[in-house]
Amino acid sequence: MELRRDVFQAIADPTRRAIITLVALQAMTPSAIAEHFDSTRQTISRHIRILTECDLLRQEHSGREIHYHLNALKMKEIADFIEPFRQMWDNRFNKLESIMKNYKRKK
């Protein structure tokens, strides 16, 4: 049985979010990614594998090297899922701000 990783669990980890940020700027090899962290190369490879399994990163082979690229379509799926919640909270905070302004004026 294949265990499918959850994309939200994947991006919950700060190291994986940092890897996504690095790779968003430019395609990188695993070694280049690992240079940015104090963790072992094996640990970073595990993080990269999880991100790849969640389709957040995609591999491109160039000779003997592998470069990882951000999968922008998968990131858009995440953003599209989150957007209605962001809008809901923006509306709630705007209402709260309005209530607080009215409260201060009445004082």
For the chain, the domains span 1-70, 75-107
Residue 47 phi, psi (nearest 5)? -60, -45
Q: How confident is the model at residue 3 (pLDDT cuts 50, 70, 90)?
A: low
Is 60:66 a contact under the CB 8 Å cutoff?
Answer: yes
Q: What is the pLDDT of residue 106?
A: 76
Summarize pLDDT for 20-32 with one digit per residue, the tens: 999 999 999 999 9
CATH of domain 1-70: 1.10.10.10
**pLDDT surpassing 60 at residue 89:** yes
Q: 82 to each of 27, 45, 51, 71, 88, how far by Cα in Å?
A: 26, 28, 19, 17, 10
Q: What is the mean pLDDT of residues 9-36?
A: 95
Contacts of 92 (CB under 8 A, 6+ apart): none
